Amino acid sequence: MSPLWLLLGLLALTGVRASERLAEIDRPYLLRYQPTMRIVGRKYCMDPAVIAGVLSRESQGGNFVVDMDNVGNGIGVIQDPNFYPPTSWKSESWVSQKTEILTSKIKEIQTRFPTWTPDQYLRGGLCAYSKGPSFVRSNQDLNCDFCNDVLARAKYFKNHGF
């Protein structure tokens, strides 16, 4: 399928269906790194499907890595000022680094909002990962685009063996 037809087909999709389609496109690339995501997931108590969702969102499954600049002080593919690229972005150290950043954001949300549910912690952590820690001020801030997209992709990956 040509890139133009692919783009036109994706433009017709919105919301969860668009996220699922993008995850479907990224799945063949991410399958190669599924063992790494499982190892890292065990290390950080993070579902490998969520790790796959983040990697899919940030780098289209590894097809390319884009510098999205440091918009909102979030943590993008290569915008984290503390990010030191390993020899390969697909390495265990790279996946560990990204997952460690996400888990630190989740822990920060847990500290700030101790009465929230585990789902709210994950959503808050994803929003803080994307938009910076000051973005999440209440449970009204848990529906950022990044969070919704990553969770829709993660659900797709979970249903397809991750």
Q: Catalytic site residues?
A: 58
Q: How many residues does the chain have?
A: 162
Structure tokens at 24: 């479907």
Residue type, 14: T
SS3 at position 161 = coil
Q: Which distant-in-sequence residues (6+ apart) come within 8 Å of 160 by Cβ?
A: 27
Q: Are 124 and 107 in contact (CB under 8 A)?
A: no
Query: How many CA atoms are closer than 13 Å to the CA of 153, on its beta-carbon side?
Result: 29
C-alpha triplet 115, 116, 119: angle, nearest 5°: 155
Six-digit token string for 51: 């790790």
CA-CA distance, 69 to 156, in Å (whole number)?
28
